[in-house]
């Protein structure tokens, strides 16, 4: 595992747009990132795609949702 691509959508079931920054994969550590510019009171759907060192990207469609305050 090299890094994780983050896709953001406002529609459930849609992959959405690739977020500009990737989360590096570090052995034995939890990666994190902050995402700015999200609208207030909006439901967002995040899809995480792990990418290996050969740039092969997992195509999982599992989404995680959150609504901003």
pLDDT in tens, 34-52: 898 999 999 999 999 999 9
Write down the pTM of the prediction: 0.85
Helix/strand/coil for 49: strand
Sign (positive or negative) of CA dihedral 3, 15, 17, 38: negative
pLDDT in tens, 4-39: 999 999 999 999 999 987 788 777 767 778 898 999
CA distances from 21 to 42, 62, 69 (A): 21, 19, 23
Is the pLDDT higher at 33 or at 63? Answer: 63
Q: How far apart are the first and last CA of the chain?
A: 33
What's the pLDDT at 34? 87
């Amino acid at each position: 595992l090299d890094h994780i691509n983050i896709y953001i959508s406002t529609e459930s079931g849609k992959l959405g747009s690739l977020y500009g920054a990737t989360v590096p994969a570090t052995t034995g550590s939890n990666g994190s990132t902050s995402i700015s510019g999200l609208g207030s009171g909006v439901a967002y759907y995040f899809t995480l795609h792990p990418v290996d060192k050969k740039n092969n990207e997992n195509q999982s469609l599992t989404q995680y949702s959150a609504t901003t305050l």
